[in-house]
């Protein structure tokens, strides 16, 4: 996982700093009220710094214990993940869920982080609401009801967002 993915897994309200190369989140070690932990992708490892004074090695250990970092080495490899890989993981995970197949805690955590990352700036719940609205709009048309101009505008805007975000939707 890279800094953005880890930041989103730790804190849904993670904030990018300095052009999306660095992220600030609430530190999981001291559970402060503000975002004091900074995460950044280094050349070959994740760089961490807590401005409240938490030890960097302790933070790395915590991230490893939460399966957000590999535990095999001190030098943490940073893997850049393409949007296509994120979308493929989301679709594969949702297919497993629909089939009733069990998924690991790590897979579920990754899925939630990827959803937040993929649907940004929207929350996954907001995307689901847009999807439900489009389904309701389609059902209304099938019943022969006439939508209002405002309903049509909302549907068009939601459909474009869903298509841009790659949300699987059959028309």
Q: What is the pLDDT of residues 57-98, one digit of tens each?
A: 888 888 888 888 776 544 445 456 777 777 788 888 888 888
CA distances from 35 to 83, 94, 130 (A): 26, 31, 30
Same-domain status, 14 and 48: yes
171 lies in a domain?
no
Residue numbers of the domain that contains 137: 124-164
Same-domain status, 115 and 129: no
Q: Report the number of distinct structural domains present in the chain.
A: 3
77 lies in a domain?
no
Same-domain status, 37 and 51: yes
Nearest CA to 11 out of 135, 100, 113 is that of 113
Q: Residue 26: pLDDT above 70?
A: yes
pTM of the model: 0.43
The answer to whether the CB of 89 falls within 8 A of the CB of 110 is yes
The answer to whether the CB of 83 falls within 8 A of the CB of 114 is no
Helix (H) / strand (E) element for 126: namely helix 124-142
74 lies in a domain?
no
Mean pLDDT of 35-40: 85
In sequence order, the 6+-apart residues with CB closer than 8 A to the CB of 105 are 67
73 lies in a domain?
no
- Determine the pLDDT at residue 152: 93
Lowest mean pLDDT among 91-95, 115-119, 161-165: 115-119
Helix (H) / strand (E) element for 50: namely strand 46-50
The answer to whether the CB of 89 falls within 8 A of the CB of 111 is yes
45 lies in a domain?
yes
Same-domain status, 130 and 109: no
Sign of CA dihedral 102, 106, 107, 108: positive
User: Mean pLDDT over all residues of the chain?
Assistant: 80
169 lies in a domain?
no
Same-domain status, 89 and 134: no
């Amino acid at each position: 996982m890279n800094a953005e993915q880890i930041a989103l897994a730790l804190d849904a309200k993670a904030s990018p700093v300095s052009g999306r190369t660095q992220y600030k989140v609430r530190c999981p070690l001291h559970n402060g009220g503000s975002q004091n932990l900074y995460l950044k992708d280094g050349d070959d490892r994740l760089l961490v710094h807590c401005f409240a004074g938490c030890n960097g090695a302790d933070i790395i250990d915590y991230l490893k214990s939460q399966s957000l970092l590999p535990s095999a080495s001190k030098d943490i490899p940073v893997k850049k993940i393409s949007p296509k890989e994120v979308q493929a993981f989301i679709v594969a995970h949702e297919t497993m869920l629909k089939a009733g197949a069990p998924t690991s805690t790590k897979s579920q955590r990754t899925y939630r982080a990827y959803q937040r990352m993929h649907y940004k700036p929207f929350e996954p719940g907001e995307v689901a609401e847009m999807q439900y609205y489009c389904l309701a709009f389609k059902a209304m048309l099938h019943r022969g009801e006439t939508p209002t101009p405002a309903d049509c505008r909302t549907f068009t805007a939601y459909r474009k967002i869903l298509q841009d975000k790659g949300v699987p939707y059959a028309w």
